[in-house]
Structure 1
Amino acid sequence: MKVNRHTPRLAHFVSLSTPLQGATPAARQSRFRGVSRTGLSAVAAALVLAGCSLAPKYERPELPVPSAFPNTAAPAAQQPPAATIAWQDYFTDPRLAKLIEIALANNRDLRVSVLNIEQARAQFQIQRSALFPTLNASASQTRQRPSATGIGNVSEVDQVSVGITSWEIDFFGRITSLKDAALAQYLATEESRKAAQISLVSAVATGWLTVLSDDEFLEITRRTMETRDESLKLTKLRFDNGVASEIDYRFAESQAETARAAYAQQQRLRMQDENALALLLGSPVPPEAFAGSAAGLQALAPIQDLPGGLPSDLLTERPDIRAAEQQLIAANANIGAARAAFFPRVTLTTSIGTASNEFSGLFQSGTKAWSFAPAITLPIFDAGRNRAGLDSAQAQREIAVAQYEKAIQTAFREVADALAGQATYDEQLRALIAQANAEEIRFKLSDMRYRNGIASGLDLLDAQRSLYTAQLATAQARQAKLQNQVALYKTLGGGWSTR
């Protein structure tokens, strides 16, 4: 049923109730036969008309982003989408896989997301139950004395009945719209749980790579500290013998202490990063997670590059976008419920049972009792409440549209950033490795010249500082490249699929 106009804003609620209850068994049975036919006809008509929806037809908004990602070509047909690649197949290092398993089992944020799904499912079932009549059975006994003086016989009425308690017949789809909104909220919660798992898997992988990078930084700093201590001893010896100036000696001392300060700082950051990883896991980090970390990130198995795909793929692969769309669908359904508030509500209350003055005669012939009470509530005047409710629902839908489009734009930016990293990190890392190799040769030559008295101590210490900076930059670029691959897997919707 399609309705394009709404009733006026006026609204005073008029209740029309028609309780029918016979006084005598014969009269009750006669009236019951006539009313039962009418009641059955009304219920049949209600079932035919029920389910008509006043909600606007849902249409997915247009993509508010370009039709293609930058820095990428269209993926080959045989390449599966990143979201379909199980995280066990993408993160192949057994140490990292073990950490992700621990996090999926123990992370409290993910546990809350799972419980939110259970709550949303229950709310949907509660809302869905309103579409069906509620049958209740009741039994009662009434004893009374007709005179306040206590003189007279005590009267007793026993009654047993089964009936429908205030069932709203959904002529205009109000309850159906609310049920659809609750279903969309439930589905959005399920998608949010998947998005939470994606974020958790990505965060664990990034945190693990960060700790491994810290170990590599510590090793570089430790070697630099040993080299500078050796240079300090040599400079001190030359200073004591009048060959080197005090300026050379103090500068060598400063560089050695700078390396010690950097080493202490790296130790602190390493401990803090491990604590952050433990929080993600929901339990202490097992010692074997960093076995062999002294070899550095370059010893890890390479992580495969991923195709960027097309922006339209994000609609089906990213759970956070699907969750935003379900929120939009829920807001669209709420408009139907707000529109239905302008139209009459029909409720039905019935009961059938037996009544007797004595318990022993409760189920004898002629003791049947029933009631049939349909009620119509028509809005006449409500001071603009229904109109305000409709305006609020329409505004909420516009908000949901904006949030859905923002989710798509954010996803597009995240994928584009990760693809930009994938296109440039290799060249940056190659250049930094070449620079570090050149600085290492320069340091060796400077050290040789200094020991033979050809170069000054300042030249040697400058070569040491340049080598340390180049090695740290190389390690940081290697860390950034690996973490960018993790980010690309996440932004393309990977991480919730599992084997």
Structure 2
Amino acid sequence: MKSLPMSLISLLLTACAVGPDFHEPEVQAPASYADWHGGAPALRETGLATGTAQSFARFDDPVLHDLQRQALAANFDVRSATLRFAQSRMARNVAASGQGPQLTTHAGANRQRQSESGAATRMVDAIAPPNRDALIEKLSDPFSLYQAGFDASWELDLWGRVRRNVEAADAGMAEASSVLRDVQLAVQLEVARNYYEMRSAQQQQKLLLQEMDAANEMAALASARQRGGLASSLEVEQQQSALAELQGRLPAQLEFEAAAINRLTMLLAQPPGALQPRLAADGSAPSAARGPDLALGIPGEVMRHRPDIQAAEARLQAATARIGVAVADLYPRITLGLSLGLESVDAAKFGDWGSRQWSVGPSLQLPIFDNGRRRATVELRELEQQEAAIHFQKTVVKAWHEMDDALSAYAAERQRHDSLLARATSARTTLELATARARRGMSDQLPVLQAQRALLAIQREQAAGDTALALRQIGICKASGLAPQD
């Protein structure tokens, strides 16, 4: 008989958890990023599978760094995701509390009276003593009842219901953590995106003003040539039209700047105008974020660390664990109980040894008939797991499409960027030659102004291209799930 408690403990320790065990799903990945590419072969990026997974883009703007840090602390979406993660931790604690004994204590003192015609009088009627009426009157006298004690219970987790609950809660906490990282990354990249767009609009305004100055000089020169009989009124009107066209572009750039500043302000949870002094034009042109030569890391490892894929995997694990919870509800529950206390109608005897009361022993809860509710719950949980598995597969495939789109867009923008560099070099050469001819008296200033305007127009395209290239790098950060480095 002494071996019976040890046998019971051994059974409890080795009791299995019913339901399917979770196995980490496989994330399909190519050997190199270029292997899975849709679209023109010219946009296929190669050499991306070298190196280890790291941050792709490095933003070296101190103002941008400060804005990103402030956004991570103040952004509404980040704060909400942080609270949801905290909620998941509390939910995990609630689930884990079922693994140990539950202790409660109670105490009370109340005044009560029994009914003279209630159920308690049936015993008196059955005995039918001669003094029945006096006895009932005595039993119905008001009295005080004093009680105190504690109760303890512990559910033997024979089928792993509690353990599966904790497993599901752990997975829920992992999902909330991944969602939080995903939101933080999205906010960082949105701040960078809007910051580059704002600086681009400011740079466009600066270059537009310079081009307007050159166009104004060309219009003045055309008027002077007309007065000297060297030009027609058509040439004058053409120059005035070109100047007006440049002036018409300025309001749009002012609007772009204002919209980008407001988006940044919203990302930092600030009212309109709060960041105006910090975001004033500083004369610097936005440039592409410097990256580690496209060394993103091994494709499979990069995708495995994407926050949304990790969140989908955690969701699948939680759905798998909930099947075990539902299956365990089909089996009996055994709970060990203990109750100790004191009860007395006499306050003076409340602490006496004779006022003690206790009970100890197991209780069994056996499901017999519930009209199919538990079986339906198991099937429901299995269907939820299948949905979570499909969601995981969709998330992985979508991630690869986003990565291919981001790399193709980066390759196309880089090619355009290289073309603009060649055009800018040619325009500078043209300006130098026109200037040299004007200095030698071989021509007037018109060719110089025309070359200057052409160069300024290309520089505006270059500024826009630099911003576009930086935005494409931000897109790769988002597709890979790699946060930008400081």
TM-score of the pair, normalised by structure 2: 0.80
Alignment of 1:99-498 (within 5 A): 99-146=67-114, 148=116, 151-152=137-138, 153-164=141-152, 167-239=154-226, 243-283=230-270, 284-285=274-275, 287-288=277-278, 292=282, 294-297=283-286, 302-372=290-360, 374-423=362-411, 425-439=413-427, 469-495=457-483
* Mapped partners of 2:382, 2:329: distance in 1: 14
Gaps of 5+ in 1: 1-36
* Mapped partners of 1:339, 1:301: distance in 2: 53
Match of 1:8 in 2: none
Amino acid at match of 2:295: P
* Mapped partners of 2:351, 2:26: distance in 1: 67
* Mapped partners of 1:223, 1:158: distance in 2: 94
Gaps of 5+ in 2: 35-44, 117-132
Task: Please give the per-residue CA displacement for 1:116-165, whole angstroms capped at 9, x wherever unaligned.
Answer: 11111111111111222321111123433456599534433322121126
Say whether the 8 Å CA contact 1:72–1:307 is kept in structure 2.
no
Match of 1:61 in 2: 25
Amino acid at match of 2:82: V
Cα offset for 1:290? 5.6
Say whether the 8 Å CA contact 1:55–1:333 is kept in structure 2.
yes
* Mapped partners of 1:67, 1:199: distance in 2: 27
Task: Please give the per-residue CA displacement for 1:419-453, whole angstroms capped at 9, x wherever unaligned.
Answer: 4455454443221122134345557878989xx99
Say whether the 8 Å CA contact 1:159–1:354 is kept in structure 2.
yes
Residue 474 to residue 453, structure 1, CA distance change in 2 (3 Å): same
* Mapped partners of 2:352, 2:170: distance in 1: 48
Amino acid at match of 1:72: T
Say whether the 8 Å CA contact 2:48–2:294 is kept in structure 1.
no
* Mapped partners of 1:482, 1:147: distance in 2: 86
Say whether the 8 Å CA contact 1:255–1:461 is kept in structure 2.
no
* Mapped partners of 1:310, 1:412: distance in 2: 13
For these two proteins, the number of residue pairs brought into alignment is: 448
Alignment of 1:17-36 (within 5 A): none
Does residue 73 (structure 1) correspond to residue 42 (structure 2)? The answer is no
Task: Please give the per-residue CA displacement for 1:262-308, whole angstroms capped at 9, x wherever unaligned.
Answer: 0111111111111111222334337455664x24235x884443313
* Mapped partners of 1:290, 1:143: distance in 2: 77
Amino acid at match of 2:79: R
* Mapped partners of 1:216, 1:164: distance in 2: 73
Residue 268 to residue 43, structure 1, CA distance change in 2 (3 Å): farther
SS at match of 2:341: strand
Cα offset for 1:399? 1.7
Identity rate, percent: 27
Say whether the 8 Å CA contact 2:331–2:366 is kept in structure 1.
yes
Cα offset for 1:222? 1.3
* Mapped partners of 2:186, 2:205: distance in 1: 28
What is the root-mean-square deviation in Å for CA atoms of aligned residues?
Answer: 3.7
* Mapped partners of 1:281, 1:306: distance in 2: 30
Deviates more, 1:262-271 or 1:219-228: 219-228
Cα offset for 1:75? 4.8
* Mapped partners of 1:144, 1:454: distance in 2: 118
Cα offset for 1:454? 9.1
Amino acid at match of 2:269: G
Say whether the 8 Å CA contact 1:311–1:412 is kept in structure 2.
no
SS at match of 2:177: helix
Say whether the 8 Å CA contact 1:82–1:493 is kept in structure 2.
no
Match of 1:82 in 2: 54
Residue 62 to residue 340, structure 1, CA distance change in 2 (3 Å): same
Cα offset for 1:46? 9.7
Cα offset for 1:228? 1.9
SS at match of 2:331: coil
Say whether the 8 Å CA contact 1:422–1:485 is kept in structure 2.
yes
Cα offset for 1:226? 1.7
* Mapped partners of 1:144, 1:202: distance in 2: 70
Residue 227 to residue 470, structure 1, CA distance change in 2 (3 Å): same
Deviates more, 1:390-399 or 1:484-493: 484-493
Alignment of 1:5-24 (within 5 A): none
Cα offset for 1:42? 11
